[in-house]
Amino acid sequence: MRQDLDARHVGVPPRAEGRAGLLAADEPPPYELVNATGSSVFVLVCDHASNRVPRSLGDLGLVTQQLAGHIAWDPGAAAVARGLSARLDAPLILGGWSRLVIDLNRPLVSPESIPEESDKVRIPGNLGLSAGKRARRVAALFDPYHRAVAALLDQRRTHRTLLLSIHSFTPTLDGQERPWHLGVASGIDRRIVEPLIAALRRHRELRVGDNQPYDIDPAFDYTLTTHGEGRDLPHAMIEIRQDQLGSAAGIDAWVTRLADSIDSCI
């Protein structure tokens, strides 16, 4: 079974969250909290940090290659998020399980919350789920993650806070090439987005998308809509093209670029 997150689960007691019969006692918790007391004004979240699937769900009927790919998680995003957390001294919360089990960045009413198909791949283990089985995934994974994000932000109510969500995107989708090296996504709140894009575009070798390949849409995006817009916190989603994150050198280069650009926005 895939083990992309390391064994540290900072600040999360082994049985602190109800596992709702989905996770075994020896399996990792629903999320990982890193550097909870970091001094930065930024808080980082990484919804799609992991491609783990609980043992109770087998492999959802997929093969290892499919579970290693972008339909199951955002490859490279967790490594970038960890690097930024260290460079910025920023708190970070990472999702602990695959987006195919339940997508932490989708409203529960969305058909993509527990997808039956992703990028033309059918997910047998998600077909025809009963309301009870869906509720078990919500209780074990979705709710604890978002309670943790809310609790961290609650602790910072007296401090200036800017919320960044770290993602990665596949270079091609539905046969279409996606030329952007990085995209910065926003909804109606552009307070941090515009200075961040301007800082990134100083790297003239980069093609930086403004709401490309994605924007933030309340019908599809839950995390920043709820915890950013819902709290009136400046926020942005950072999306890095995955073919640039296949090596430690590539990840380090992006951590450096992003940290410098983010710092310039304070």
Minimal CA–CA distance to 102: which of 140, 63, 46, 65?
140
Q: Identify any residues that bridge with 80 across adjacent strands, giving them in sequence order.
A: none
Going by their DSSP bridges, the two strands 176-177 and 172-173 should be labelled as: antiparallel
Q: Report pLDDT digits (tens) over 79-118.
A: 999 999 999 999 999 999 999 999 999 999 999 999 999 9
Cis peptide bond N-terminal to 213, omega within 30: yes
**Domains, the chain:** 31-263 (3.40.630.40)
Q: Report pLDDT digits (tens) over 46-90.
A: 999 999 999 999 999 999 999 999 999 999 999 999 999 999 999
pTM, two decimals, is 0.92
83 SS3 class: helix
Task: Give the count of beta carbons closer than 10 Å to the beta carbon of residue 226.
Answer: 16
